[in-house]
Every structure is written in structure tokens, then in C-alpha cells.
Structure 1
Amino acid sequence: MEIFGSTFDDSVFSESRDRASVSVSSYSPKLCESEVTLDTDDSLEKQKVYKFRGDLAVRRGDYQKALDAYSSCLQWIADNNLTIRRDVLEGMARCCTRLGQRERALHLTELKEASNTCHLTSLLLLKVCQNTHTHTHTHTSSVCVLQQLCSLLPFNPWHWLSLGQTCEQLLGRHRSAGTTPSTHTKEFSQDRIWLKACACFIRTRLLLRILQQQQSSFVLRRSESALQLMEEALRRLQPGEPRLQALTEVMSEDLVPEKMREDYQDGESLSSVSLQSFRERWWDKVPEDSAILLTPSADHCGTVKPL
């Protein structure tokens, strides 16, 4: 009894004697011209051409040319084509950021344009990028945007890490200059920024330790490196054991397996997403009698250095 597929025709392994030799002609790959002519009335074709020109100009570093192409593309995009419209608007915002057109870049990334959680996350990250490329950047705007990111994606350790680093940079800058933030608000006072930096690093450490249980290879190594950074940051900030314990209790309250598994942020709809304020979600949960524990001493603040 033969098993199906267990036998072969001997002719498969014999060399072909009658096979004619075929000469392969030289091959020249087709090239896409950078300046495609627009001799068409098709709006879709015009959209594609302008989009291609913009992407090519960005790759070449010609941001003004890219901005012009994206602007032309925008008027040919159908109202129901939200994906391409989002892509072009983000491209325009990046170009404006590179060209120093901060106000226009901010206008292009208005959060009201967000259609789902993925889009909102992208816009918030773009705002962080815009703040980074602004010469007058004081870190306060990045702190506000990163707080929104952490509220939107509370179990992402890397957003918490970025927020903690930004707070520490802001605190170090104002300590070295001997000034306070221009806002003169309690939210951005030195002790409040110090508190946020400590809390964010603690939250990052908690999340990374949870995620480590499911990681391996280079992903695990990245988490281990980040955990080492957290330990070094907390040694610089010197929160002290009472403060460390009080902040850990607050920042770990929602870190339960059931809640993390049932994350409702599916990336498709904003209707179920509640962007609670950062203070309401975490700071207001700090017990009143622990307030004195969360105020850094002058010598602790003085040891903080910019990252």
C-alpha cells in the first residue's frame, strides 16, 4: 500500500536533454518620475499625484515644497476619505513644525479632528514632537500633552517615562535658573513638578515589572534597561520612603489584571473613552493627611539635574 505522495516520477530527477537554452535579455527597472504631469480632470488622480509629490519632498528634506504639495492635495480629497485627509494634515503639520510655523502647526493638529483613539494618540504625539522642535519650548506644554496621553493610555509605560523625564527636565531647568515657571500656577510649581516626576517614574516602574512577566529577548532587555533608568531617576529625586510608599499606593490602584485585560481603548471609537483630568484621576486620590509627605525638602529639589 502506497501513501499518497510517497512516490516520485524518476523523470523529475533526470537532467533534461531537450531543454532549449533561453537567453535572458537585459532588464531595466521602471522609474517613477518625480514631477508627474497633471493632464487629467480626475480628482482622485490629482490627489495621488500631489500626495506623492509631498511625500517625495519630505524625504528630500524640502519641507516648503512638501507643504505646498500637501496643501494642493487637501482640496482634492473626498470628504468621506478620512484616512488620507488625516495623513495629509499630519504631513502638513510636520512640515510647518520644521519650517518654524508653530501656530499653523498647532492649528492643523486640533484634537477636534480626531476620529478614533489611534488618531487622537497620533495627534498628541505629534504635538509633543512640535514642542520639541520649538526653540521657545519650556516643557510645560509637553507636560500637558503627555498627561493627556497617560490619561488616554494609562497602561503604556513609555508615555509615563516620557512625562517623568520631561517633568525632571523642567524642574532642573528652573532650579538652575533660580526661577519659577512663567505660569505662576500651583500646577507648575517646583514641588508639584517634583511630585509628578516621582509619581511618573514610580508608575513606569510598576508597569514595566508587570509587563516583564510576558516578555523575552530584546523586549525584556529594553524593559530591564528602562527599570535601571527608573532607579537612577528616583535616587536623583530622593522622594524618601514615606513619600515613595504614599505615591506607590496611588499610582498602583488601577493596576489590576482584570482592568488591564478589559482595556476599552480599542482604537476605533472615542465614544467610550473618558479623558479625565490628570489631577482627578490620580492626584485627588492622595489622602489629605499624606499631603505633608508629598512636599519635597529644599535640599532634595536642589539635587535635581536636567537629564
Structure 2
Amino acid sequence: MEIFGSTFDDSVFLEARDRVSVALSSYNAKLCKPEWFCESTALDTDDPLEKQKVFKFRGDLAVRQGNHQKALDAYSSCLEWIADNNLTIRRDVLEGMARCCTRLGQRDRALDLVDLLSKEASNTCHLISLLLLKVSIYQHFGDVRSKMSSLQQLCSMLPFNPWHWYSLGQTCLQLLESDRTTGPCSPQRFESVEEQSAEQQEEAAEMDEDKIWLKACTCFIRTRLLLRILRQQQSSFVLQRTESTLKTTDEVLQRLNPKETTLQALTEVVSEDLIPEKMREDYQDGESLASVCLQSFRGRWWNKILLTGVLETDGCQHQTQTDTES
């Protein structure tokens, strides 16, 4: 019996056929001066692709220089010359316009551009980029509750990314502090993305202080678990960042002051899926949205957490330490 891999195909030892050399035609590379696209003559062309490049480069340069109105004008002009099948550049330009509108204080226009991008999202990469864009817009305008909703969507899409969990926990802390100083406030503007609407309606009834506190504890516990797993494979400045965040997470949990039984119950719930095989196979970047079945944040974690009864057992004990420090 032959051992697998112990024999070779005869073709391996055959002489290679004589290769016919093909003479390459001469090629002269196009040389461009620095910032050639800023010259007035750069638009003296009938090629739509060249005009698209000129306006795109002008917009990118203006953003780098901090001139967001000039960048917005250039991106708007660029949009007119983008071919219908060039979806990548179109998404890039629309996102640039949304970020410029944000910096210029044009909140409604920025969110309208986000809605337009959401209709064209076709894979998980698009949706993740869209959610990150929403987070930056809401953060700029101080819309903490909408930012929290987008971060929960990110945590549902990328459940093993500790930085989204950490950001969600920090947002919960911010919401706790704002509610104590100004009182509860109603959500400002919610998006029309189909997969978010139902969850947002449920969240509107969940914004009392105790539940936000519990969600903050959950996020920081999940962050700590994920970072402890990741640091085994890290080194250098990456490991330093992880260690620093772990220290901050421990300090925040001490300030939140949950009971030991609460810590144990929450740790058990949020660590159920921390299995190496599952962590490698969960949602791959670029997967089609049609084949992705996402559970909402509530369905995946929150309902299980409420079933533990930690709110009833912990009560409002957490308010004693956090109130004295604020």
C-alpha cells in the first residue's frame, strides 16, 4: 500500500517547454506635479473619470487642510461625475460629505446622507462603516442615546470586538451622568434603518437609571473578558493599550459598585459565547447582508441579563458610591 504523498506525477520531471519571449511595448509613465488637480486647467477635459478624480482629490486635500466647506463643495461636484456602476467611490464621497456636514454643524443633512448610504449597503463591511459613521455624527452633536443605539448594533455585529463594548460602556456612563444633572431626556432623532427601529422602540422604555447602570456593568465586564483573551497574543504598544484599558475598566467597575453576586451572574451570561471556535467563525467581513441573521442587542444579551434578576437583588445600592463621587 502506498503512503499518501509518497509518489510523484511523472509530469513533474518533464522538461519545460521552450518559452516564447514577447517584446513589451514601450511605456511612458505619466508624471504629475504636486497638487496638479488644484490648477484651473485640470478641468480642461471631456473625460468624466478625470473630472471625478480632480474633484475627489480637491475634496480630500481640503479635508486634510480643515476647510470642510470647500471639501463639501468639491465632493458635491465629484458626485455628479461618478459612473453609476462605481459604487465604491460613490460611497466614499457620500461618507466624506456626511463628515463635512457634521463638522459644519449640518446635522439633518449629515443624517440624510447616512440614510442614503444605508439604502445602498450590500454587505457587512458597508453596514459596519455606516454604524461607525453614525457614532461619530451622534457623538459630535451630543446625541448620546442615538449613539448608544448604534454602538449596540456594532456590538451585535462584532460581538468579539472589545473596543465597541468599551465605547458602549463609556456611553452608558455619560448617559448616567447627564440624567443625574439634567434629568431624563427624550431621544432626539432615530434613523429609519429597518433592523434598528423595533429595538429603538423597546429601548425608549428602558432608559431608567437602574437599567442603564446594569448595561454599563455588562459592557465593562464583557470588555474585560475579551481584552484578557486578546492580550495573550499581543505585544509592544498594542499590549500597553490593552493593559491600560483593562486598568480603566477595573476602576470603572469599582466605581459602579455592583454586588459580587451581580458580577458573577453578568459574567456567566456574557461569557457564554466566548469559545475559540465560535470567535473565529462569527460574522466574516464582507459577507452579504442577505445571508447574515443578526440578533438584536436585546435578544442576544439583554433579555438573558434581565432574567437573572440582578436588578431586584442589587436594587439601588449602586447609587451610594457613584452619587458621592459625582
Between 43-52 and 113-122, report the one with greater CA deviation: 113-122
Alignment of 1:6-25 (within 5 A): none
- C-alpha deviations, 1:135-173, integer Å up to 9, x for none? xx2411110110011111000000000000010011012
Q: Distance in 2 between matches of 1:115 and 1:186?
A: 31
Between 140-149 and 60-69, report the one with greater CA deviation: 60-69
Between 218-227 and 203-212, report the one with greater CA deviation: 218-227
Alignment of 1:134-213 (within 5 A): 134=141, 137-177=142-182, 179-183=183-187, 185-213=204-232
State the shift of 1:94 in Å. 0.6
Residue matched to 2:200: none
Residue matched to 1:31: 34
Q: Aligned partner of 2:268: which letter?
A: E
Residue matched to 1:46: 51
Q: Distance in 2 between matches of 1:106 and 1:32?
A: 32
Alignment CA distance shift 1:303-1:113 (3 Å): farther
Q: Distance in 1 between matches of 2:52 and 2:246?
A: 46
Q: Aligned partner of 2:34: which letter?
A: L
Instruction: Name stretches of at least 5 consecutive residues in structure 1 with no aligned partner.
Output: 1-28
Residue matched to 2:17: none
- For the 8 Å contact 2:144–2:175, the answer to whether it is kept is yes
State the shift of 1:43 in Å. 1.0
State the shift of 1:294 in Å. 5.4
Q: Aligned partner of 1:112: which letter?
A: K
Q: Distance in 1 between matches of 2:40 and 2:61?
A: 12
Percent of aligned pairs with the same residue? 67
RMSD: 1.9
Residue matched to 1:299: 320
Q: Distance in 2 between matches of 1:263 and 1:48?
A: 37
State the shift of 1:248 in Å. 0.7
Instruction: Name stretches of at least 5 consecutive residues in structure 2 with no aligned partner.
Output: 1-31, 188-202
Q: Distance in 2 between matches of 1:190 and 1:85?
A: 42
Q: TM-score, normalised by structure 1?
A: 0.84
Higher Rg of the two aligned structures: 1
Instruction: Tell me the secondary structure at the aligned position of residue 81 of structure 2.
Output: coil
Q: TM-score, normalised by structure 2?
A: 0.79
Q: Distance in 2 between matches of 1:176 and 1:304?
A: 13
Between 271-280 and 138-147, report the one with greater CA deviation: 271-280
Residue matched to 2:66: 61
Q: Distance in 1 between matches of 2:127 and 2:211?
A: 27
- For the 8 Å contact 1:155–1:260, the answer to whether it is kept is yes
Residue matched to 1:17: none
Q: Distance in 2 between matches of 1:294 and 1:80?
A: 56
State the shift of 1:246 in Å. 1.0
- C-alpha deviations, 1:222-268, integer Å up to 9, x for none? 11111101100001100110111111111111111110011232324
- For the 8 Å contact 1:109–1:123, the answer to whether it is kept is yes
- For the 8 Å contact 1:168–1:304, the answer to whether it is kept is no
Structure with greater helix percent: 2
Structure with higher RCO (Cα < 8 A, 6+ apart): 1
Between 76-85 and 264-273, report the one with greater CA deviation: 264-273
From 116, 120, 125, the counterpart of 1:113: 120
Q: Distance in 1 between matches of 2:295 and 2:65?
A: 41
State the shift of 1:273 in Å. 2.2
Q: Distance in 1 between matches of 2:306 and 2:170?
A: 25
Instruction: Tell me the secondary structure at the aligned position of residue 78 of structure 1.
Output: coil
Q: Distance in 2 between matches of 1:117 and 1:304?
A: 41
Instruction: Tell me the secondary structure at the aligned position of residue 238 of structure 2.
Output: helix
Alignment CA distance shift 1:287-1:133 (3 Å): closer
